[in-house]
Amino acid sequence: MKQFSTILLIFTSVLLSQKSFSQIIQGPDTLCIKNELQLTTTDTTASTYYWGFCSAYLNNIPTGSSIAAGTGMDAPASICMVTDSSNYFVFVVNTNSPRNLLRYDFGSSMSNAPTVNVIGDFGGTIPVNAKGFEIVKSGANWYGFLVGGATAVNSQMVRFDFGTSLSNTPTIVDLGNLAGLLLNPQDLYVFNEAGNWYAFTNSGFTGNLLRIDFGANITNPAPPLTNLGNPGTLAFPTGIWPVFDGSNWSLFVVNRLTQTVSRLDFGNSLLNPFVEVNLGNFGGILNGPRDIVIIKDCGNYYGYITNESTNSLILLTFAGSITAAPVATDLLNFAGFNAPRFLTRMMRDKDNVYCFTANNLDNTMSRLTYNSCTTSSIASSTLMTPPPVEYAAPGIYNVYYASDEGLPTMKVDCKLVTVLPQPYIEINNDTLICQRDTILLVANGPGLNNIMWDPVYNTIAPYDTTSILIYPHETYRYNAHLEFYNDKGTCAFDTSVLVRVSRVTADAGPDRFVADGASTILGGPKLSMGQEYSYSWTPPTYLDISFIAKPTCTPRDVQFYYLKVTNDSSGCESKDTVIIRTECTDINLPNAFNPTSDIASNRNFGLINFNINKLEYFKIFNRWGQLVFETTDPAKKWDGTQNNIQLPPDNYVWIVDGTCDNGKRIRKQGTVLLAR
């Protein structure tokens, strides 16, 4: 690690936008990261308020999950999602006999695991090859409409009458093949215009668009049907979805045969004649398309198409205008798709958005979810004027607003807020330094008007300049408060740099004297310990292991040791030395031994000294004074026998008379325990 390093922080100035073009939500639409955003509303007389500061933003990529098989589905195709009394329901129709109607109850949140209710087959009245399915409310009652059939003989429409609650078991009314014009009908859209009820469906075989006129009474038992014909390029049309942009109506149609999408423009009424615009295949991304659904989210339109052949979902981004040429993106199979058929509508549950599709081949249901984010300082507020909010990450955030929820006076608004990133930080060198190193922190950037460093810890230069020279002894975070200014205003940033200090201490221990033949443990109390450290003791002379933290040293003369400790992750090093002195000043003998010990050095009894160069005698006696061992060889040891006979465990007396290599004569006696 270098002894002098530099970190360069380059800050790019970004400023607050002072205007918001939202009609209900008032406040800036651009701010700096971790700056406070204060929003207000022009809607000041509502009874309830809801602000979601991190609501799902449909320009992101959705997540997906699969509701597994075994929940009653059998080759499902038709699917519809409805909310009733704050509860969410998904209805599914099986195409295999007995063609049951299923209701999935999600309770108060579409993120819940649903419970399934098999409503029944209604005596076989449900159409074969059922496709288009929609549930609407007229007055206090709920009605479901379903079309299906493969030929003119078995094509039909049925109506489910739920009464005042979708949790009821409905009755079924067979409307038959209206005017004999239903021929392999595909999708269905039911709508009310000027007090009258209508429905669109389409013929897969002919491509014709059909309109059903219920009149003022949605329960009309014999509504007339008008064949609007094929405007030109509709080829086995399957999914349809209407869009009203505030002035004009468009109906989007998926052409399964040509793998294209058509837009039918009706003008200001769905009862007008229409003109077809074929949008093509978006570069060949469609493959077996089946259905389409479109949602407007905070000024932009987003469309979703099920690709049945490739088990994927196609995202269409229209960028502002529904008549704009969309950009298509293949989201691939992110939700367990397996021959996905029809889609439910996209539905927002406050800060999250959900959609479902039925998988025809493996009898599962896929749930598409746009989740709210988690980077706002507060997730939501129910105050008319919410508290300020900060965002912890840059990006585009969707602020969702609703007042008088569930009432006729309910108002909804959204606002996209762009959070600009923290100034770009260019780091010339690592922020990891070794203890006792010095590092230079530099902040610079166009428009930088003022900077304040905090805290002032081990700095050399003044702390209110663009750069400071620091020498921290431990890991420390240095904060920088920066203010940028230009003709549009001031933007403040609080950022920080964490300077990590790798603290490595080599403590070889104090210099010491060790008696002749004795051992000592090297290494002091301040020595850095842990698996991240490596150790090197040099020279390895008289050490049991030279690459551990605290080796055992059994010196025979004066020895100088050099210790180097390295932090393997940072590369930082520390060094220390120790001197070990030894001298023959006494006789060293153990006080016990065991000839049967598992440790070889404990099996014999003798001098431990290395520096006895002359031995007058070394004698051992039993408790009765009988000599059992003697020698004049300093290296010879007693094995606990006499005349090759093992002696019993007991205390034995020894006497020694010897001369050290320094000329000192030592006479000594003591006892030793023979253990077995």
Q: Which pLDDT value is given to residue 495?
A: 74
What is the reported pLDDT for 1? 37
Residues paired with residue 263 on neighbouring β-strands, in sequence order: 252, 277
Residue 624, pLDDT > 80, answer yes
| pLDDT tens readout for residues 286-307 | 999 999 999 988 888 999 999 9
Q: For residues 124 and 100, give the distance between their C-alpha atoms in angstroms, rounded to a whole number.
A: 9
Highest mean pLDDT among 7-21, 170-184, 437-451: 170-184
Which pLDDT score, from 0 to 100, does residue 162 have?
Answer: 98
CA 252 to chain centre: 36
Check if the beta carbon of residue 533 is closer than 8 Å to that of residue 568: yes
Residue 456: what pLDDT?
73
Residue 11 clears pLDDT 50, i.e. is over it: no
- In the structure, what pLDDT confidence band is assigned to residue 30 with cuts at 50, 70 and 90? confident
Give me the amino acid identity at 571: G
For residue 81, pLDDT beyond 80: yes
Mean pLDDT estimate for the chain:
89
Q: How many Cβ atoms are within 10 Å of 6's Cβ, its own excluded?
A: 14
The larger pLDDT score, comparing residue 9 to residue 353, is at 353
Model pLDDT, residue 462:
65
Q: What is residue 13's predicted lDDT score, i.e. its pLDDT? A: 36
Whole-angstrom distance, CA of residue 380 vs CA of residue 401: 10
- pLDDT above 70: residue 78: yes
Q: What is the pLDDT of residue 4?
A: 38
Does residue 7 contact residue 439 with C-beta atoms inside 8 Å?
yes
Q: Inform me whether the pLDDT recorded for 341 exceeds 90.
A: yes
Domains of the chain are 25-56+374-420 (2.60.40.10), 63-370 (2.120.10.30), 512-583 (2.60.40.10), 592-674 (2.60.40)
Q: What is the pLDDT of residue 631?
A: 94
φ/ψ region of 487 (left if φ > 0, alpha if ψ in -120 to 50, else beta) reads alpha
CA separation (Å) from 243 to 34, 160, 295?
A: 38, 25, 8
pLDDT of residue 357: 97
What would the mean pLDDT of 279-285 be, rounded to a whole number? 96
pLDDT at 485: 64
Tens digit of pLDDT for each residue in 510-521?
A: 999 888 888 899
Q: What is the pLDDT of residues 421-451, one digit of tens each?
A: 655 444 444 578 888 888 888 776 666 677 7
Residue 32 banded pLDDT, cuts 50, 70, 90 = confident
More confident residue, 425 or 610: 610
Q: Is the pLDDT of residue 673 over 50?
A: yes
How confident is the model at residue 45, as a pLDDT? 94
Confidence band of 460 (pLDDT split at 50, 70, 90): confident
pLDDT band at 359 (very low <50, low <70, confident <90, very high): very high
* Predicted pLDDT of residue 409: 86
Question: Is the model's pLDDT at 506 over the cut of 80?
Answer: yes
Per-residue confidence band for 676, with pLDDT thresholds at 50, 70 and 90: confident
Phi and psi at 178, nearest 5°, equal -60, 115
> Is the pLDDT at 98 greater than 80, yes or no?
yes
201 within 8 A of 168, measured Cβ to Cβ: no
Q: Using CA atoms, how far apart are residues 369 and 286, in angstroms rounded to an integer?
A: 22
How do residues 226-273 score in pLDDT, each as one tens digit?
Answer: 999 999 899 999 999 999 998 999 999 999 999 999 999 999 999 999
> How high is the pLDDT of residue 201?
98
Distance between CA atoms of 215 and 223, rounded to whole angstroms? 8
Tens of pLDDT, residue by residue over 625-648, are 999 999 999 999 999 999 999 999
Q: Regarding predicted confidence, which is higher, 507 or 486?
A: 507
261: left (phi over 0), alpha (psi -120 to 50) or beta: beta
pLDDT at 332: 96
Please report where in the chains the tokens 């090759």 appear, as a residue.
644
Q: What pLDDT is recorded for position 465? A: 67
Does pLDDT of 207 surpass 80? Answer: yes
Q: Position of tokens 């979810």?
A: 369
Residue 99, C-beta contacts closer than 8 angstroms, at least 6 positions apart = 93, 121, 124, 126, 127, 128, 130
Q: DSSP string covering 477-520, please? A: EEEEEEEEEETTEEEEEEEEEEEEEE---------EEEETT--E
Q: Give percent of the chain with pLDDT exceeding 90.
A: 70
Residue 16 has pLDDT above 50, yes or no: no
Q: How large a percentage of the chain has pLDDT more than 70? A: 93
Q: Which amino acid is at 495?
A: T
Query: How confident is the model over 309-326, as a mean pLDDT?
Result: 94
pLDDT for 152-164, tens place per residue?
Answer: 899 999 999 999 9
* In the predicted structure, residue 607 carries a pLDDT above the cut 80: yes
